């Protein structure tokens, strides 16, 4: 973390991103992340994932271990959604309230 001094106040920001949250190099400790979510006891947890299949396998295993549901997005689903929204927006009488 770096402290920026501007006028009368100091603000701690990450040196790499400039965001207030710290950047952590390397892979997350998935057990720690999932345990923190589990400890919040907010009810049923569903993890949505979009990315490389190698990481999907790791996250799916952790979801199974902690009793979370796992949903993986893929290009086929995203293309189908894109096609659906394109049809909606190309209509002459499009009512945006029906999209949301």
| Predicted TM-score (pTM) of this structure | 0.54
Domain boundaries, the chain: 27-99
| Angle at the Cα of 47 from the Cα atoms of 43 and 53, rounded to 5 degrees | 160
Q: How confident is the model at residue 10 (pLDDT cuts 50, 70, 90)?
A: low
Distance CA(80)–CA(88), nearest Å, equals 13
Higher pLDDT, 14 or 54: 54
Contact partners, residue 73, CB within 8 Å, separation at least 6: 48, 49, 50
Residue 10 falls in which region: left (phi positive, over 0), alpha (psi -120 to 50) or beta: beta
Tokens of 19: 């965001």
Per the model's pLDDT, the better-predicted residue between 83 and 33 turns out to be: 33
> Tell me: the pLDDT tens digits for 54-96?
999 999 999 999 999 998 877 676 677 677 767 766 665 544 4
Q: Which of the four pLDDT bands, split at 50, 70 and 90, describes residue 99?
A: very low
pLDDT of residue 94: 47
Specify whether the CB–CB gap between 14 and 2 falls below 8 A.
yes
Mean pLDDT of the chain: 77
């Amino acid at each position: 973390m770096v402290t920026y001094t501007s006028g009368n106040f100091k603000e701690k920001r990450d040196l790499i991103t400039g965001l207030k949250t710290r950047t952590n190099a390397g892979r997350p400790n998935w057990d720690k992340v999932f345990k923190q979510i589990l400890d919040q006891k907010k009810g049923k947890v569903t993890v949505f994932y979009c990315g490389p299949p190698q990481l999907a396998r790791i996250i799916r295993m952790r979801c199974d271990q902690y009793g979370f549901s796992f949903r993986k997005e893929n290009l086929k689903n995203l293309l189908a959604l894109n096609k659906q929204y394109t049809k909606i927006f190309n209509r002459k009488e499009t009512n945006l309230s029906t999209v949301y």
